[in-house]
Amino acid sequence: MMSVENMSQLFAKLNDLKKVFSYGERLIPVIHSLGEFMKETVPLLENINKSIAESTSKIPKASNQIQSVTSATELATTEILDLVDVLNADLDSIQKCTSDCLEKEKDKEDFLRSLIPNLQKENAKAFVEDFLEKNRLSSNLNSVVDRIKKMKDDTNSITLSLQVQDITSQQLATVNHLIESVQDKLASLIEDFDNTNINDSNDKINLPEGATFDPNARYSKSSANQNEADTIFNQSMQTASQAEIDKLFN
């Protein structure tokens, strides 16, 4: 026979059970709402996943477009450099011809002057000098030489400005590297969500193997960076040993 104590424990437990049921009764609407919420949320999440997958699949195209921009600018730069080389060769040739003409002009002038003492007429000297004055080409030729020199300086400036291609290609490589990182993150997110491996798709980022770049590359005509390099090198020149260089910079 159960003791009174046992009976009271049983009633206490039944009481607890009743509380659980009554709590459960209140919880049912909440669980029901949660179910409804999930019903609405799952398609939404699927939509988000689909959007991410779609966007992610477009990333290789964007990256490859950037890569093709780099290739196109490199090709165009090479063409410009080829043309500049042709132009420089032509200018060299014109410069040489002009120098030869100047030389011949001087010879001609010297020759005509050398004739004067041998001429019989009184006014021979005046005649020759008048002729030379009216037919003087040396100043024109000197002007042509100056123009050629200026044109050569200009073609050199064009060549130097083409350094922008190398610098922008490094900037684009930095962007591509960032795009690739985003692609990897999104791919792993999608894989966690529905086991889809987007890297299996046909669209892949085709970056040049072993591509390296300076993420801080800038095309700037400011001499600030060069000045800093010069300062550091000048400081190091004044120190004698590697230990001292280390001490200076550490």
Partner 1 sequence: MGLKFLIVDDSQTMRRIVVNSLKNLGYDDFVEAGDGKEALVKLSADESLNFVITDWNMPVLSGLELIKAIRSDEKMGKIPVLMVTTRGVKDDIIEALKAKVNNYVVKPFTPAILREKIDAILASNGGSN
Contacts to partner 1 by CB under 8 A = 74, 77-78, 81, 84-85, 156, 159-167, 169-170, 208-214, 216-221, 224-226, 228-229, 232-233, 236-237, 242, 245-246, 249
Nearest residue (CB) to partner 1, 159 versus 199: 159
Judge contact between 181 and 40, C-beta under 8 A: no
Nearest residue (CB) to partner 1, 111 versus 249: 249
Q: Residues with Cβ < 8 Å from 204, sequence gap 6 or more?
A: 60
Q: CA 7 to CA 225: how far, in whole Å?
A: 90
Nearest residue (CB) to partner 1, 24 versus 215: 215
Nearest residue (CB) to partner 1, 3 versus 212: 212
Alpha helices in 195-241 (DSSP H): 224-238
Q: CA 88 to CA 159: how far, in whole Å?
A: 11
Quickly tell me which residue has 């032509």 as its tokens: 90
Q: CA 239 to CA 250: how far, in whole Å?
A: 14
Nearest residue (CB) to partner 1, 39 versus 221: 221
Judge contact between 159 and 84, C-beta under 8 A: yes
Closest separation in Å from C-beta 72 to partner 1:
13
Closest separation in Å from C-beta 160 to partner 1:
7
Closest separation in Å from C-beta 57 to partner 1:
28
Q: CA 157 to CA 88: how far, in whole Å?
A: 12
Judge contact between 145 and 100, C-beta under 8 A: no
Closest separation in Å from C-beta 229 to partner 1:
4
Nearest residue (CB) to partner 1, 8 versus 161: 161
Closest separation in Å from C-beta 232 to partner 1:
5
Closest separation in Å from C-beta 91 to partner 1:
12
Judge contact between 176 and 63, C-beta under 8 A: yes
